[in-house]
Amino acid sequence: MKKVVIASDSFKGCLSSQEVAAAASEAVRCVFPSCEIRCLTMADGGEGTAEALGAALGGDFRSRTVRGPLGDPVEASYLVTGSMAVIEMARASGLTLVPPQRRSPALASTYGTGELIADALGRGCRDCLVCIGGSATNDGGMGALAALGWRFLDAAGEALEPVGASLGKVARIEGGGAIPALKESRFRVACDVDTPFFGPSGATAVFAPQKGADAATVRLLEEGMAHFAAVVRDATGVDIGSMPGAGAAGGLGGALHAFLGAELLPGAELVLDALGFDALAAGADLVITGEGRMDAQTLHGKAPAVVLAHARRLGVPVVALVGSLAGEKPAGFRDVLTVTPPGMPTQWALWPETARLNIVRTLQAFLVNAK
């Protein structure tokens, strides 16, 4: 092989995109010492998107203390590049900020994400790209909107806590206190999935169990999301119920679209465009992508699927590296390589050095056989 392009997402909670690329590069170099290797920092709207765009566009990170998913203070940063703020909601409202034993999407809020948006506006940014993967939340975006000045009232006119458990109680939405700068600002949302707001393939049914919800909580949140979508439609005239991407980050995508006029965009597409992937991958012998866990959601806007689509248009084969594979291998890849050896305990597989070695060994063996 003469040229290989590596554009993998992170292995969540284990290796960053850059670390996955370094391990894959080591394997390629062992088998093809003179190969040209181009490593790209990849993300799809979730964790790492700000770094990926910062690597491509430049800029500086600004930091402030905000309210975390369960109300605890967290230090969160966002990227400022030119006049644009790139706000990665996982830094303020992400699942990795909550210990597994405390995860509860009914009680979690996107309030801290709204605080980051408000901070960016206060610093003069009028172009905001909000990257909304990796959330701990299922609040329909109420938290972020509350931080920006909206109020959510029950039937008695009492203000509600902007968390998932309140969705079904919202009777009226008041926006008179919204930050004035919102009206003169442009908002785009980088979604990591095309999930609708509610329904069998919606935010709650698909993702709430991964965030700590039991069956009863899933029912409560699903009913709440359907009710909240109707209230939003009455308040704004925008129907977000079945809109692709509206359910990303537990409904934050839909809220930002309905109340801020945000354009919902595939996050991986934004990153690939910023990186100039098509030009770099043209003429390559192989593209290597990946993610920590590949499952049915991968083909709904996740980084490996978008990389695959671009590479196939260029006629370049794609291999995916994954820590684990749920279900059948998605069609289109030359191969999907599960790097974790059978029987290895999950806690071992998640150790960064173990994961790195697993990638090197698995990819090296594949490349030797592919010679």
Q: How far apart are CA 371 and CA 366, in angstroms?
A: 9
> What tens digit of pLDDT does each residue of 159-193 get?
999 999 999 999 999 999 999 999 999 999 999 88
**CATH superfamily of this structure's domain 3-39+276-370:** Glycerate kinase; domain 1 (3.40.50.10350)
DSSP 8-state symbol, 54: H
Q: What is the mean pLDDT of residues 81-104?
A: 95
> What tens digit of pLDDT does each residue of 8-22 get?
999 987 999 999 999
Closest CA to 246 of 111, 112, 143, 140: 140
DSSP 8-state symbol, 184: G
What pLDDT is stored for residue 329 in this prediction? Answer: 86
> What tens digit of pLDDT does each residue of 229-282 get?
999 999 999 999 999 999 999 999 999 999 999 999 988 898 898 889 999 999
Confidence tier at 40 by pLDDT (50, 70, 90): very high
What pLDDT is stored for residue 17 in this prediction? Answer: 93
Q: What is the mean pLDDT of residues 149-167?
A: 98
Residue boundaries of the structural domains of the chain: 3-39+276-370, 49-267
The phi, psi pair for 198, rounded to 5°, reads -145, 175
What pLDDT is stored for residue 47 in this prediction? Answer: 82
Residue 44, pLDDT > 90, answer no
Joined tokens for residue 73: 């203070």
Which CATH number is associated with domain 49-267? Answer: 3.90.1510.10
List, in sequence order, the alpha helices (H) in the chain.
Answer: 17-31, 49-57, 90-93, 111-122, 142-147, 203-207, 215-236, 248-260, 267-275, 277-281, 303-313, 346-349, 352-370
> What tens digit of pLDDT does each residue of 301-343 get?
788 999 999 999 999 999 999 999 988 888 899 999 999 999 9
Q: What is the mean pLDDT of residues 345-371?
A: 94
3-39+276-370 shares its CATH topology with 49-267: no
Burial degree of 276 (CB within 10 A; 0-12, 13-18, 19+): exposed
Give percent of the chain with pLDDT exceeding 90: 85
